[in-house]
Amino acid sequence: MNAIERPKFIPRHRLFFSSSSLQKTKITQIITLGAAYVLFPKTNHKYTWHKVTTTVNNIIVGKLWVDQHGDTEIVGLNSSSGIKCILKYIPYSYFSREAQRRVKGVVIDRNNKVKWVIRGTSDNQIEIAKVRSISGLPDSPEYETGIYGKGVCFRQTAKTLAAQLNEMEEGVAPTDSRHRPDQRLMEVDKWDESNHEKLRLEEKQREKRKQREEEAEAAATRENYGLLFLMRKLFQTK
C-alpha cells in the first residue's frame, strides 16, 4: 500500500493505491487497485474514485502509445454526498473512426437525475454541458444539452500562462504568429475551421514557393549583364 500526499497544491489530494501489471506479447496493462481522494479546501467538497486500466501498446515493435479504458464513478463524500459522476473511457479500436482516448459520462445529483453531460479526450480536453431535457428509453436516454465548453472547459495542454501568451496585444509586429488566422480559430475551439485554414495557408505557401522557383529559373536563362560603359569607352578610343 502506497500513500502520496501533496499538501502544497489546491485542491489537495491523497492517493492510496496498489497496482498490478499484466504483460502480454505487445502490450502491458497496469491495473490500479484501491481508491483516490480529492479535497477542495475552500468548499470542503471531497470526492473519491477508482482509476481505470492503463494499457501501453507496442512494447516490442512500433511507436509506443498509451490508452485508458474502463468505467469509473467519482462519488461525493461529506457535504457532497449523493453527487456522483459516471465516466466511461472508451478503448481504441482499429475498426472504429472515433478519436483515441475518448471519454464520455454524466453528472448525477442527489435526486438521481442527470444534470450534466461530459465528453472529450483524456489527453487533451474535457467539455461539459448542462442537460435541458431527456428523452428516449431509460436504457439508452438521449440528452438535449446547452453549448459545450461555454465557460466550463478544462485543457491539460493549455495552462493559464500559455493561454495568456497567445492573447492579442496592441503594437505587436505584423509577422507575429498571433496574427495567424488558424491559430485564432483554434483559440476559440473552432478546430475544424482551424485545420481548413491551416491547409489553405500551407497551400498558399507552396504556390508562392513554386512561383519564386519559376522566376528564378527564368532569370537564370537571361543573358548575363555586361560592362556596357567600359565597352563603349574602349570603342570610342579606337
Exposed, middle or buried by CB within 10 Å (0-12, 13-18, 19+), for 216?
Answer: exposed
Contacts of residue 29, Cβ cutoff 8 Å, sequence gap at least 6: 21, 22, 53, 54, 55, 56
- Sequence ranges of the domains in the chain: 8-159, 188-236
CA dihedral 114, 98, 68, 41 (to 10 degrees): -40
Q: What CATH class is the domain 8-159?
A: mainly beta
The one-letter amino acid code at 129 reads: A
Alpha carbon distances (Å) from 154 to 28, 188, 195: 29, 13, 21
Tell me the pLDDT of the chain (238 aa) as tens digits: 333 333 344 455 555 555 666 666 688 888 888 888 888 888 888 899 998 998 888 888 788 888 889 999 999 998 888 899 999 999 888 777 777 888 999 999 999 888 899 988 888 788 888 888 888 777 777 877 776 654 444 455 555 666 667 777 888 888 888 888 888 887 776 778 888 998 998 999 999 999 999 888 887 777 766 666 555 555 555 5
Task: Judge contact between 104 and 88, C-beta under 8 A.
Answer: yes
Strands annotated E in 6-90: 12-23, 28-40, 45-49, 53-57, 65-77, 84-89
pTM over the 0.95 mark: no
